[in-house]
Amino acid sequence: MSTIAPENALIYIMVTMSAVDSAMDDNELMEIGSIVKVLPVFRDFNPERIIPVAKECAAILHEDGGLDAVLGLVKDALPLHLRETGYVLAVEIAAADLNVSAEELRLLQLLRDTLEIDKLTAAALERGARARHMTI
């Protein structure tokens, strides 16, 4: 049995992606809020819980071995049918500021491995996010 709800796990993924380069910018935070308000997977989630859940995640990340702990919690919490959703949410947050850093790329690789997302599926999800975030 998991220690966190699937919705919390998805928020953990987004918060971790936002924090990985030590620069949680406003675009990424606004993107997290927008995602939680719009996606059906968050239909029963109270948006007022975003900040407390994000703080829980941040507290875990600050501990020794925090990233591994968060990844373990996420993997345990997400049923197989939500793992691609988790990965695409990480990609969306990475793409939100239109600049994907080396740290974000490394976290995406760790998430692919943790969530057992095959490379072809990951490439498709990444390409879709890139297309959605293009500007003129």
Q: Quick one: average pLDDT of 111-126?
A: 95
Bigger pLDDT: 39 vs 95:
39
User: Residue 1 pLDDT more than 60?
Assistant: no
Whether the model clears a pTM of 0.95, i.e. scores above it, the answer is no
**Position 134 confidence tier, pLDDT thresholds 50, 70, 90:** confident
- In terms of CATH architecture, what is 6-132? Orthogonal Bundle (1.10)
Domain extents in the chain:
6-132
DSSP string over 4-64: S-HHHHHHHHHHHHHHTTT---HHHHHHHHHHHHH-GGGTTS-GGGHHHHHHHHHHHHTST
The model's confidence at residue 8, banded by pLDDT at 50, 70 and 90, is very high
pLDDT > 70 fraction of the chain, expressed in percent and rounded? 96
15-31 pLDDT per residue, tens: 999 988 776 767 777 88
